[in-house]
Amino acid sequence: MTANEPPPNAQPDSPSEREHLERPRDGKNRFVRSMDNVRRDAAAAEYWAEHRCTYQEIADRFGYYDRSQAWRGIQAAKRDVALPAVTKLRQVESEELDALYVMAMEIIERNHVMVSHGRVVCGEDGQPLLDDGPRLQAIQTALRIRDQYQNLNGLKQPAKVEHSGGVKFEIVGVDPQDLV
């Protein structure tokens, strides 16, 4: 047993300690916000907005452990308020990108004839020559649209940077001969 562990038969002394032990956790054993905490955060944020008091006053009034917990609660309430608007904005932007992507795909699927000086260019057999330029531009546009969609919805993996090689340490003011 270590000094940080409670004795095996120890019971929580106060209701607040029991409440801490019973807080809900997610699948990775991290604490999650209960509905009571969400309501408390919203009430604290509303009170803070109306009275512009210190975070310590918020902590004392709403039962936070300390002022940093009060600050975190108010920040969480701000995120909760913004979340529906952000979700709606992402949905609207996704729909617009989808419509643009469908138009680009329609251009890709069409056959485009080659035009020069306002006239259709025909081959030796009399058939109009096909122009791949519009199709290639539509492909580039479709790829850019997909890239924007991935950025909007957070589908891209973050870039992983690896560094290898030696490190050279230099001690200023010390002769390297003295270290040997």
Q: How far apart are CA 101 and CA 109, in angstroms?
A: 12
Report which listed range, 10-14, 93-97, 154-158, is most confident.
93-97
pTM of the predicted structure, to 2 decimals: 0.55
pLDDT digits (tens, 9 = 90+) for 104-129: 999 999 999 999 999 999 999 999 99
Counts of helices then strands in the chain (DSSP H, E): 6, 2
For residue 120, which phi and psi values (nearest 5 degrees)? Answer: -75, 130
Identify the pLDDT of residue 13. Answer: 53
Position 9 confidence tier, pLDDT thresholds 50, 70, 90: low
What's the pLDDT score for residue 154? 83
Residues 9-31, mean pLDDT to the nearest whole number: 64
Q: What is the pLDDT of residue 71?
A: 94
User: Across all residues in the chain, what is the average pLDDT?
Assistant: 84
pLDDT of amino acid 15: 53
For residue 28, name the pLDDT band (cuts at 50, 70, 90).
confident
Q: What percent of the chain has pLDDT over 70?
A: 87
Neighbours of 135 (CB within 10 A): 16
Q: Is the pLDDT of residue 137 over 80?
A: yes
pLDDT at 115: 92
**Domain extent listing, the chain:** 15-153
Do the beta carbons of residue 127 and residue 120 sit within 8 Å? Answer: no
- Residue 125 CB-density burial (10 A; 0-12 exposed, 13-18 middle, 19+ buried): exposed
